Amino acid sequence: MADMEKLRMDWRFWKNKKVLVTGFEGFLGSHLTHALIVSGAHVIGLDKKVGRRQTILTQDDYRRMRVVKGRVENDKLLKDLLARHRIDVVFHLAAEALVGECHSHPCRTFSSNIKGTWNVLEACRHAKKVSAVVVASSDKAYGEHKKLPYREEAPLIGRHPYDVSKSCADLLTHAYFHSYGLPVAITRCGNIYGPGDFNFSRLIPDTIRCGLSGRTLQIRSNGMSIRDYIFVDDIVQGYLLLAQNICRMKLSGRAFNFSNEEPVRTRDMVKAIFRSLGCKPRYRILNTAKFEIERQYLDSRKARKQLRWRPAHSLQAGLRKTVAWYVRCMASDGESRRRKITGSRAT
C-alpha cells in the first residue's frame, strides 16, 4: 500500500464500519475490499459472480466478510442489504466494464450501468444509516474533447454504449445529490493496472502475458492512442480518502479525477512493459479498433489539492511491481497457474 503519512489516511475511520462494495470481485473491487478488511471494516460484498478462481482475495478475506451473489439491477435486494446490515458506506463499482462487450451488448450495458446505478442511489436515499456513497464513473464519461487534459467541469458527452452509460450514471449521481441531498461523490479514473488483473483483453496484462509466453502481442489500435495509467493501490487510496471525507469536508455532489498525469502512447507503453520483462518487444499493429477515443487523459489537481491525494507510484515503479507479481504468481503456483496466465497449453 502507499505511504499512509503522505496520503493522510485515517484508518481509524474504517474500524467496524459496515461497508457495501458492489462489484467486489472485480479487479479494482477486490483490491478495495482487501484494503477495507485489513482496515477493520465489516465488508458486505455484492457481485453477479462470486467465488472466482482468479482473484487477489484470500480465503481469510472471504471468511472475514459477507458475500452476496446478486445484481445491482435487483432493487429489492439492494434495499434489503442496506437495511439488514445497517450499511454506513457504499462503494458502487459494479458495471459492465469491457468496451468491446458493451458495444456488442448495449442493452445489457445500459441495464447494468444505468439502471444499476439508479437502483443503488435510490436504495441509499431511503437507507437510514448511509453517510457516504462513492460512485465509480470513468474518464470515458467525458467522451471526446479537443481540450486536454480533462478537468472535472468538462461536459459529459459520451457517444458509444460504454461511454454513454458512464455519462448517464455520472449525471444520475449528481441528480441524487442536488435533488435529495444524498452524501455521494464521483470518481473518474485513468486506466487502472496492477497485480491481479486477469482480464487479458486489457493492454497491460495482455502485454505481460505475451512477454512471458513468447507470443506476439496483437495491438487492436493503431498504436498511437494516448492514455494515462494509474496503479491500483493509488486508486484504492483515492477511494478511501474520498469516502472518509465526503461529510468531513462537505464533498457531496463533487467529482474527482484520479490520474498520475503521465499520458503515454500505446506503443510506448508496450515497449516499457517489454523492457520491464527484460525481453525484446514483439507486437503487431492491427489497427482494427473501432469507436475508440484517440487522446484521453486527466487533470488530477482537484484531488491533489482538496484530498491531498498523491499517487505513490510512478509509471515505471507501478509496472515493475505489476510485472514482478505476474512472474511470482507463475513461479509459486506451478504449471496450472502458468497456463492460466499465459494461455499456453501443455504439450
How big is the chain by its Cα radius of gyration, in Å? Answer: 19
Q: What phi, psi does 131 have (nearest 5°)?
A: -110, -10
Intra-chain end-to-end CA distance of the chain, in Å: 39
Closest CA to 224 of 287, 282, 281: 287
How do 264-265 and 226-227 pair as beta strands?
Answer: antiparallel
Count of alpha carbons within 13 angstroms of residue 199, beta-carbon side: 16
* Identified catalytic residue from 62, 142, 150, 162: 162
**The three grid cell numbers given for residue 29, joined into one nine-digit string:** 473491487
Cβ partners under 8 Å of residue 74, min gap 6 = 119
Give CA 31 to chain center in angstroms.
9
Q: Which residue type is seen at 331?
A: A
Let me know if 180 is a catalytic residue.
no
* Burial call 11-42: b when 16+ CB within 10 Å, e when fewer: eebbeebbbbbbbbbbbbbbbbbbbbbebebb
Buried b (16+ CB within 10 A) or exposed e, 320-344: ebbbebbbebbeeeeeeebebbbee
Q: Using CA atoms, how far apart are residues 301 and 117, in angstroms rounded to an integer? A: 27
Residues carrying an active site annotation? 162
